[in-house]
């Protein structure tokens, strides 16, 4: 009798009721579930869009693969394991890097920032050339050293704090780093620091991330090693793979070579904290909107309850056709589930359509559209897995929410008859 119950439930769903209010409430129920589903699809897609946007911003500064010591901050540049990694057939370029905190005086006040020394082949390991910014009226290019001079290239936010990316005019600043294992001598503080002069390259970089733009400065590897008292040491090995290489497979091979002494991370893992926070925000939004779906399903209970009252006279007819009380209860239960399913289908279709429309036409702008943001419109990215999760969630919530109330009401109806 399962097909019979399903057939009757479908007839009840689309047929005209004796009281127009029931049709109206049924339509409202479908619309309510559809709107909640649309909100879920759009919200999940917007979070995906921001994640994709952030990942593209990081790729210009972060290497494809990064090798760092598993314990401690520094490792020997000529470590045998690192030499094997450099010679891996899929590695196109490997750049030695060292970074740590440093200090510079700005108008007499100390400014602590992250000084990163990189090898001469740094432009081969990263896409730094794609995010170089040249200030109008200043002639410069990205360079690390020339002759006796070492050059510094700050993030655009740090350059703004320094006053200009042309900070060698009139006097190049000196960069200070506390000497290892030495306390500050109050009588002669300068003796407790290593220091060196950095000249401006005339350019800065812009990643559109405060972590980098406001805190990082790039310079030559030798200058940073000398300043940190870490000659021959590095804090990371940044790797660019050959064209056609699969990052995941090469990462697996390099991890095997690195053993437990070094950690190999791809771009997503290098920004693990950022993406973890975004995933938590996405999950919270998902749970909140799922609760709204649950509230929308209460309309289904009201719609089916009125339908049960409206069809009291049909129960006797169904019994004469051979339907049992269980079949009759199943008819109204399926009625509620059909409403939830119809709302979920409509909501998914509308939600996906709106997302693609936003992706191609950018109807909803960020801010006033005056160009102060990285993108003019809210980014969206529709992921099939998220759409399936939303659809299943709405169906499960809808099915479960109507189960007890509908069975209770239908049993009362059959018992009274």
pLDDT of residue 202: 81
pLDDT of residue 46: 92
How far apart are alpha carbons 400 and 71 in whole angstroms? 50
How far apart are alpha carbons 29 and 218 in whole angstroms? 59
Would you give the distance in Å from CA 202 to the centre of its chain?
33
Which are the contacts of 323, defined by CB distance < 8 A and separation ≥ 6? 1, 4, 5, 331
Tell me if residue 114 falls in helix, strand or coil: strand
pLDDT tens track for 219-265: 999 999 999 999 999 999 999 999 888 888 999 999 999 989 999 99
What's the token pair of residue 182?
A: 């030495």
Total length of the chain: 417
Residue with tokens 């479960």: 400
pLDDT of residue 362: 82
Burial (0-12, 13-18, 19+ Cβ within 10 Å), 249? exposed
Confidence band for 14, pLDDT divided at 50, 70 and 90: low
pLDDT tens track for 326-365: 666 676 677 777 888 888 999 999 999 999 999 888 888 8
Mean pLDDT value of segment 146-156 = 88
pTM of the model: 0.69
List residues bridging with 175 in a β-sheet: 104, 196
For 309, how many CA atoms within 13 A lie in the half-sphere containing its CB?
A: 8
Percent of the chain whose pLDDT exceeds 90: 33
Is the N-terminal amide bond of 170 cis, ω within 30° of 0? yes
pLDDT tens track for 166-223: 554 546 778 888 887 667 666 666 677 888 888 888 888 988 788 889 999 999 999 9
What's the token pair of residue 84?
A: 């094997």
> Looking at 206-288, which runs of residues are DSSP E strands?
216-220, 233-234, 236-241, 262-266
Mean pLDDT value of segment 125-138 = 77
Q: How far is CA 78 from CA 123, 231, 251, 259, in A?
A: 21, 12, 21, 17
pLDDT tens track for 39-58: 999 999 999 988 888 777 76
Structural domain spans, the chain: 2-58+274-416, 64-267
Strands 216-220 and 109-118: parallel
How far apart are alpha carbons 153 and 350 in whole angstroms? 48
- Element at 40 (helix H, strand E): helix 20-59
């Amino acid at each position: 009798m399962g097909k019979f119950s399903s057939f009757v439930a479908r007839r009840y769903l689309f047929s005209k009721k004796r009281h127009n209010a029931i049709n109206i409430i049924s339509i409202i129920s479908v619309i309510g579930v559809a709107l909640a589903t649309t909100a879920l699809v759009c919200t999940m897609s917007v979070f995906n869009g921001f994640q994709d946007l952030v990942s593209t911003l990081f790729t210009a500064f972060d290497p494809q693969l990064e090798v760092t010591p598993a314990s401690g901050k520094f490792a020997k540049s000529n470590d045998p394991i690192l030499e094997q990694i450099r010679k891996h057939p899929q590695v196109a370029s490997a750049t030695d890097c060292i970074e740590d905190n440093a200090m510079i005086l700005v108008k007499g006040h100390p400014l602590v920032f992250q000084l990163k020394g990189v090898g001469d082949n740094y432009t081969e390991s990263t896409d730094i050339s794609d995010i170089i910014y040249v200030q109008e009226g200043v002639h410069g290019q990205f360079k690390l050293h020339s002759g006796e001079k070492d050059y510094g290239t700050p993030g655009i936010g740090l350059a703004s704090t320094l006053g200009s990316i042309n900070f060698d005019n009139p006097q190049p600043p000196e960069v200070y780093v506390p000497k290892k294992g030495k306390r500050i001598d109050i009588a002669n503080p300068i003796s407790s620091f290593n220091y060196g002069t950095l000249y401006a390259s005339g350019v800065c970089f812009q990643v559109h991330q405060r972590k980098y733009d406001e805190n990082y400065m790039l310079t030559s590897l030798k200058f940073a090693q000398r300043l940190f008292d870490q000659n021959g040491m590095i804090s990371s090995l940044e790797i660019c793979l050959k064209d056609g290489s699969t990052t995941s497979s090469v990462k697996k091979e390099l991890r095997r070579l690195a053993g437990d002494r070094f950690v190999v991370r791809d771009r997503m893992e290098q920004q693990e904290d950022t993406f973890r926070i975004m995933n938590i925000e996405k999950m919270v939004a998902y749970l909140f909107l799922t609760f709204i779906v649950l509230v929308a399903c209460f309309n289904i209970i009201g719609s089916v309850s009125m339908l049960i009252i409206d069809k009291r006279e049909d129960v006797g007819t169904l019994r004469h056709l051979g339907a049992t009380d269980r079949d009759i209860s199943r008819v109204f239960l399926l009625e509620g589930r059909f409403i939830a399913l119809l709302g979920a289908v409509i909501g998914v279709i509308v939600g996906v359509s709106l997302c693609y429309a936003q992706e191609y036409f950018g109807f909803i702008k960020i801010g006033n559209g005056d160009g102060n943001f990285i993108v003019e419109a809210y980014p969206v990215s529709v992921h099939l897995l998220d759409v399936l999760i939303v659809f299943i969630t709405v169906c499960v919530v809808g099915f479960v929410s109507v189960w007890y109330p509908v069975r209770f009401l239908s049993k009362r109806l059959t018992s009274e008859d």
